[in-house]
A and B are shown apart, each in its own frame.
Chain A
């Protein structure tokens, strides 16, 4: 039996692939931005025991980290409308990614905040800085810098995990692959190419995140 590989039939759909790639990247970027915001709020609430938010974030982190992303996505996309909340596939995908990444980054950033030397906070207090100022200028930047490699890894994991968003018909890269293989009947070649694209995206996203860390955080910490 000889099977003739036909990768050209995949590349005929390069516009679909490019479009899917851009949407996967956009999803990742938006998810990362808001996910980090949630993570910072959650981390400071838990690390500094800001009642009642610390309790809320503890439950949130455990619930999200102990259930699959796909189920969170289905719950949001199929479950919320039955409560009367209308939501389209992109809103559901973004919401799921923010909620998911927020839980993981809460734990990651919390570790960074808890590693802040006590003397630094005392020094800031002696300069009559308020709690919010201390957090923003003294605690957060070095904390983020310390855990940035873990955040980069988590963002890559979330980007790869976003491939299941194809299941609620969000037209990202995996959706593009499903579409292409339903047209050219070359499932193996299509998934092979798209897997390679994800691999390159993972490398690229990691590099961008590392660079962003150096540009945005490392400078402030000096």
Chain B
């Protein structure tokens, strides 16, 4: 049953890859916004938002992404919401991404030398002013490389959404492998697709990291 040509395989995989890219971008942007909220909760002076954010991060980093997706997928129908695989995938990956980004960014804020806090406090700046004018601009510079690095994890995380039936690159690959009986070729191409998406991000993150360390040396 080989009425499926190589071109058909590649074309379908490219279609699937588009959904992978779309889901990655959605999760990264929404997760970034939520991650920012988490960051501010995590470094707040009030202990209540700090503890809540910490618990959130620990739960999402301490459980499998697949389980998170299952809970959203089945939990939604439980409260009467018909949740499509796309919504479940986007929501699940957004929550997952926000937990990691919130934690990465907190590390960046905390790696700003303490003297910067003290110096800006001695200028009678409020907490918000310190953040806005002194801490965040410096933390942002440190944060770029690990943030780009983490985007690779988001792209790879999208593969897990194939299990709840979202048709992206991996799911397309599974269906094609079943239809063509050529799993070696199809999954090889699927892997190549992910590599093409992820490798530039990894390499870019490494360059950014080197630049930061380089510019700090003098």
Q: Complex Cα distance A186/B162, Å?
A: 22
Tell me how far the C-beta of A137 lies from the nearest C-beta in chain B, rounded to whole angstroms: 31
Residue of B nearest to A75 (CB): B187
Residues of A within 8 A of B68 (CB): 195
B29-60 interface code vs A (CB 8 A; 1 in, 0 out): 00000000000000000000000000000010
Knowing A70-B170, A161-B64, A194-B67 are in contact, say whether A79-B159 is a contact too (CB < 8 A).
no
Tell me how far the C-beta of A97 lies from the nearest C-beta in chain B, rounded to whole angstroms: 14
The segment out of B84-92, B120-128, B132-140, B192-200 that lies at the interface is B192-200
Residues of A within 8 A of B183 (CB): 74-75, 78-79, 81-82
Q: Kindly identify which residue among A3, A65, A82 contacts B78, using a CB–CB cutoff of 8 Å.
A: A3
Knowing A67-B195, A70-B160 are in contact, say whether A79-B170 is a contact too (CB < 8 A).
no
Instruction: Assess the B202–A74 pair: CB atoms within 8 A.
Output: no
A164 sits at the interface (CB 8 A): yes
Interface size on B, residues (CB 8 A): 40
B173 sits at the interface (CB 8 A): yes
Q: Kindly identify which residue among B70, B74, B191 contacts A75, using a CB–CB cutoff of 8 Å.
A: B191
Instruction: Assess the A68–B159 pair: CB atoms within 8 A.
Output: yes
The segment out of A39-47, A121-129, A196-204, A207-215 that lies at the interface is A196-204
Knowing A82-B182, A83-B184 are in contact, say whether A68-B163 is a contact too (CB < 8 A).
no
Tell me how far the C-beta of B191 lies from the nearest C-beta in chain A, rounded to whole angstroms: 5
Knowing A82-B182, A203-B62 are in contact, say whether A71-B194 is a contact too (CB < 8 A).
yes
Residue of A nearest to B181 (CB): A82
Instruction: Assess the B71–A191 pair: CB atoms within 8 A.
Output: yes
Instruction: Assess the B159–A71 pair: CB atoms within 8 A.
Output: yes
Q: How large is the interface on A (under 10, 10 to 19, 20 to 34, 35 or more residues)?
A: 35 or more
Residues of B within 8 A of A161 (CB): 64
Q: Complex Cα distance A202/B183, Å?
A: 33
Which of A68, A163, A164, A177 neighbours the largest number of chain B CB atoms within 10 Å of its CB? A68
A69 sits at the interface (CB 8 A): yes
A188 sits at the interface (CB 8 A): yes
A12 sits at the interface (CB 8 A): no
Residue of A nearest to B200 (CB): A66
Instruction: Assess the B64–A163 pair: CB atoms within 8 A.
Output: yes
Residues of A within 8 A of B107 (CB): none
Instruction: Assess the B63–A82 pair: CB atoms within 8 A.
Output: no
Residues of A within 8 A of B64 (CB): 160-161, 163-164, 174, 195, 198
Q: Complex Cα distance A69/B187, Å?
A: 12
Q: Kindly identify which residue among B71, B158, B187, B194 contacts A66, using a CB–CB cutoff of 8 Å.
A: B194
Instruction: Assess the B74–A68 pair: CB atoms within 8 A.
Output: no
Q: Complex Cα distance A75/B190, Å?
A: 9
B10 sits at the interface (CB 8 A): no
Instruction: Assess the A164–B163 pair: CB atoms within 8 A.
Output: yes
Q: Complex Cα distance A163/B66, Å?
A: 7
Tell me how far the C-beta of B1 lies from the nearest C-beta in chain A, rounded to whole angstroms: 15
Q: Complex Cα distance A200/B65, Å?
A: 15
Q: Kindly identify which residue among A1, A63, A70, A174 contacts B80, using a CB–CB cutoff of 8 Å.
A: A1
Q: Complex Cα distance A76/B59, Å?
A: 31
Residues of B within 8 A of A203 (CB): 62
- Other A-B pairs, 8, CB within 8 Å; known A68-B160, A74-B174, A160-B64: A66-B152, A71-B159, A71-B194, A75-B188, A164-B163, A188-B75, A191-B74, A199-B62
Enumerate the 7 nearest inter-chain pairs by beta-carbon distance, A residue then B residue, closest first: A68-B159, A78-B183, A66-B198, A163-B64, A187-B74, A79-B184, A68-B156
